[in-house]
Structure 1
Amino acid sequence: MARVVEMSYYPVKGCAGVATGEAFLTPAGLAHDRSFMVISEEGVFRSQRRDPRLALIRPAVSDDGARLILRAPDIEALDLPVDTSGARRPVDLFGTAYQGIDQGSAAAAWLSDVLRTPSRLVRVPPEHHRVTDGRTPGTSGYADSCALHVISRSTLELLNRKLAERGSAPLPMNRFRPNIVIEGWAEPHTEDRAHVLKIGTTELGYAKLAIRCAVTLIEQESAKRAGPEPLRTLAGYRRASQGGVAFGTKLSVLRPGKVAVGDDVTVTSWGESEQHASHSPVEPPPRPAGPGTGSTVATE
């Protein structure tokens, strides 16, 4: 039986994650996931792709979402009251215009100091309405795309075996910044074909493959760019038909509810994988996938 063995949410887009044993899954993902975003003075989102020092910032948000604490090496922590009613300002996420609530000058000064470039912090406004694409449409906060990013342990284990064959060191799961890690699927990349899943009291629908970007090259503990892996090795066996290399999947929330580490994962609908690689899962027998865009997206 497959089960959840790790679960994390990322309060501030691009910053370190928060491991949790249980959480409420909202229509936009795990509670507080990507509800804040660091932007330039012009309103364009910051990402580890260009600002790897984001990985050094370790946020913590109160259960009620009323306070946000930001920590980073060699600087005093910042404890912020969260503004959910202030003036909206335009923000740019991959060229799409959204709105954000600016969290003030103290947050801006702290982030600018850590990132060594002028920055500000915004929060998703309560009226935020965003429709994500893929086989199963959904919504999310400031995530790159869909509400949830899922990877199985066997998928990472296969990659690490291939890295070892090249003489490279194994990579930790946090290089890929998933929300949910699943154990119990013996066949790597089974998540590619799991099209409807039940976990706890929730139900999830497959949206798309997760196409990997340069964030996977960054050591999450040090914020250092570590070289060509894992993208070099993934290019040898995980090229996606849509372009790029695929590792893990994106899911939309069909039914909100509670999820916890240790919950069983039950797949109620299987489909064919969009990934055209030499490695193909074989259990259980797949059924044809339903209609949908099948589009892909990078993840952070």
Structure 2
Amino acid sequence: MAGVTDLISYPVKGCAGTSTSDALLTPAGLAHDRSFMVTSEEGVYRTQRRHPRLALIQPAISNDGTRLTLDLAGADTAALFGAVRLDVITSAPRRDVDLFGAGFQGIDQGDEVAAWLSEVLGVPSRLVRVPPEHDRIADGLTPGPSGYADSSAVHLLSRASLALLDQRMAERGAPPLPMNRFRPNIVIDASPGDGPDGDGDWAAVPHAEDRARRITIGGSELGYAKLATRCAVTLVDQRAGARQGPEPLRTLAAYRRATSGGVVFGTKFSVTRPGKLSVGDDVVVEEWGDAEL
């Protein structure tokens, strides 16, 4: 078995995450995860790939999803821009938005937050919310609903996988990286139990999560969708809001290159049974498969 060591939600796509000890797992992932997105005035999604300062924006959303606050990390920047607070708009006319070239709908959240984002990012920007009728289904071995996430609803990563990456980077003279470089939703670590080969502590084996096909956590269940393909967002220091060089992609490319050509690290899952998650919950693999790498 394994245990949950961290739960992180990202209410605004591309912005900072919020760790919590308990979370509701909905059909589209952790409650409110990627339910908002920053776009250009034309509706094209913004991401840390081109706007790394998004990482400095710290969202806070009420449990019922009706109030959203955006603030900035760091005393200097926070004092310069202040925070913006808004009542979430759910009934305005929809507008077209673009996410990786796919067309969806969004509910614009008004001029005040748009002006704040435009000033922080240095480019004209808007904030939109996923509409209630949003019916996006992400692909993968187990398709499932997803908000404005890159693909599937849940990204799971083990501490053992990160430890191996840090070890390989150290061999190249590079410093270790924090877990937030990879922006997972569920972080797991080893606890006593039986692994896929009957040798216990499966989560202590780097990338064992790649082989998990059906997972139960508490009363919820996840179905394997795909490996997580990594991009330039992993190059962004999440505390500084700036790119910091070639790692970890340089090291990952040496041992985690998929047959499709992409670099993979971590695993994406769809929600097959919603429920409540808590730090400390057992993570039980009900079905194993072969790694796709």
User: Which structure 1 residue ranges, 4+ long, deviate > 4 Å from structure 2?
Assistant: none
Question: Which residue number corresponds to residue 205 of structure 2?
Answer: 187
Deviation, 1:243, is 1.7
AA paired with 2:290? E
From 106, 109, 119, the counterpart of 1:103: 109
Question: Structure 1 residue 145 and structure 2 residue 151: aligned?
Answer: yes
Aligned pairs, number: 275
Q: What pairs up with 1:97-136 in 2 under 5 angstroms?
A: 97-136=103-142
Deviation, 1:75, is 1.0
Deviation, 1:23, is 0.6
From 95, 98, 104, the counterpart of 1:89: 95
Return the alpha-carbon distance in structure 1 between the equivalents of residues 68 and 204 of structure 2: 39
Question: Structure 1 residue 202 and structure 2 residue 208: aligned?
Answer: no
Deviation, 1:242, is 1.7
Question: What SS does the aligned partner of 2:223 have?
Answer: strand
Deviation, 1:153, is 0.4
AA paired with 1:245? V
Question: Which residue number corresponds to residue 255 of structure 2?
Answer: 237
Question: What SS does the aligned partner of 1:150 have?
Answer: strand
Q: What pairs up with 1:281-296 in 2 under 5 angstroms?
A: none
For structure 1, list consecutive stretches of 5 or more residues without a partner in the other structure: 276-300
Question: Which residue number corresponds to residue 45 of structure 1?
Answer: 45
Return the alpha-carbon distance in structure 2 between the equivalents of residues 54 and 220 of structure 1: 9
Deviation, 1:193, is 0.2
Deviation, 1:244, is 1.0
Return the alpha-carbon distance in structure 1 between the equivalents of residues 177 and 82 of structure 2: 30
Question: What SS does the aligned partner of 1:19 have?
Answer: strand
Question: Taking structure 2 as the reference length, what is the TM-score of the superposition?
Answer: 0.93
Question: What SS does the aligned partner of 2:284 have?
Answer: strand
Q: What pairs up with 1:241-280 in 2 under 5 angstroms?
A: 241-275=259-293
From 144, 161, 176, the counterpart of 1:155: 161
Which has the larger helix fraction? 2
Deviation, 1:238, is 0.5
Deviation, 1:250, is 0.3
AA paired with 1:19? S
Return the alpha-carbon distance in structure 2 between the equivalents of residues 147 and 171 of structure 1: 24
Question: Which residue number corresponds to residue 221 of structure 1?
Answer: 239
Question: What SS does the aligned partner of 1:135 have?
Answer: coil
Deviation, 1:76, is 1.0
For structure 2, list consecutive stretches of 5 or more residues without a partner in the other structure: 191-202
Return the alpha-carbon distance in structure 2 between the equivalents of residues 90 and 107 of structure 1: 18
Return the alpha-carbon distance in structure 1 between the equivalents of residues 99 and 116 of structure 2: 22
Return the alpha-carbon distance in structure 2 between the equivalents of residues 186 and 111 of structure 1: 41
Return the alpha-carbon distance in structure 2 between the equivalents of residues 231 and 222 of structure 1: 19
Question: Which residue number corresponds to residue 12 of structure 2?
Answer: 12
Q: Which moved more, 1:141-150 or 1:67-76?
A: 67-76
Question: Structure 1 residue 71 and structure 2 residue 77: aligned?
Answer: no
AA paired with 1:175? R
Return the alpha-carbon distance in structure 2 between the equivalents of residues 255 and 140 of structure 1: 14
Return the alpha-carbon distance in structure 1 between the equivalents of residues 242 and 250 of structure 2: 17
Deviation, 1:97, is 0.5
Deviation, 1:15, is 0.2
Deviation, 1:112, is 0.1
Question: Which residue number corresponds to residue 55 of structure 1?
Answer: 55
Return the alpha-carbon distance in structure 2 between the equivalents of residues 36 and 70 of structure 1: 12
Question: What SS does the aligned partner of 1:235 have?
Answer: helix
Instruction: Render the CA deviation track for 1:248-284: whole Å, top value 9, x for unaligned.
Output: 0000000000001000000000000001xxxxxxxxx
Question: What SS does the aligned partner of 1:155 have?
Answer: helix
